[in-house]
Amino acid sequence: MKKTLLYFLILTFILPLAAKAQFETFKDSVVQLYGVVMTADSLQGIPSVSVMVKGQNRGTISNDRGVFSIVVLKGDKVEFSSIGYKPVLVSIPQNLEGNQHSIIQLMVTDTVFLPATIIKPRISREQFDRDFINTKVADDAITVARQNNNAATRRLLMTSLPSDGREASSQYLRQSAAKLYYSGQVAPQNIFNPFAWNEFIKAWKRGDYKKKSY
């Protein structure tokens, strides 16, 4: 019982002292920040400037003469921002003496270059008809597919595209079979082969040997 009473008396005296010390520390860190926001070139007050404490959801705006006032803590960072001006970040000193701090914040104009816009008069009906008729419409998927599957395009692809693995292996096997077939004897010349001359004449008529530009 005596120990409980002793603990109660100690808490009764110590807790108020600790709370008072903490309150005094917090009270010493509170700063009333006030001042005016002005243009750097003409020293004119800037109205409606956003004055926000960095990292916190609180702030204020300047009045029509650029005057503002806000409560901050020592060590806070205050950001000044307004449309048409470059933002400015100001730090409140940790070793600031007293609980009031005044500043005159200058802001520099932020120049933004927008892309050029060319305004033309409305065209006449004759100009619209002429441009509509002469406008080249891109081919649709069906037209492109038909162009890629015609005989000339297929022949060009056959001569220009490299053979895949199956075609290459088949061609190698045919060449090996032809060498083995005529092994030990002279292979016949196609110049005396009437079937080869027939294929040559057909290819000549088709224009396979003509120089083409694609």
- Element (DSSP H or E) covering residue 82: strand 77-82
- Residue ranges per structural domain of the chain: 29-119, 125-206
What confidence tens digit (pLDDT) does each residue in 164-204 have?
788 888 888 888 887 787 777 766 666 667 777 888 888 88
| Among 59, 110, 42, CA closest to 82 | 110
Strand locations in the chain (E): 30-39, 50-53, 59-61, 67-73, 77-82, 85-91, 100-107
pTM for this predicted structure: 0.44
Rounded mean pLDDT, 21-48: 80
- Given a cut of 50, is residue 10 above it in pLDDT? yes
Q: Indicate the burial class of 77 (C-beta count within 10 angstroms; 0-12, 13-18, 19 or more).
A: middle
What confidence tens digit (pLDDT) does each residue in 62-110 have?
999 999 999 999 889 999 999 889 999 999 888 888 888 899 999 999 8
Third-level CATH fold of 29-119:
Immunoglobulin-like (2.60.40)
Confidence of residue 211 (pLDDT cuts 50, 70, 90): low
pLDDT at 205: 81
Q: What is the SS3 assignment for 21?
A: helix
pLDDT at 202: 82
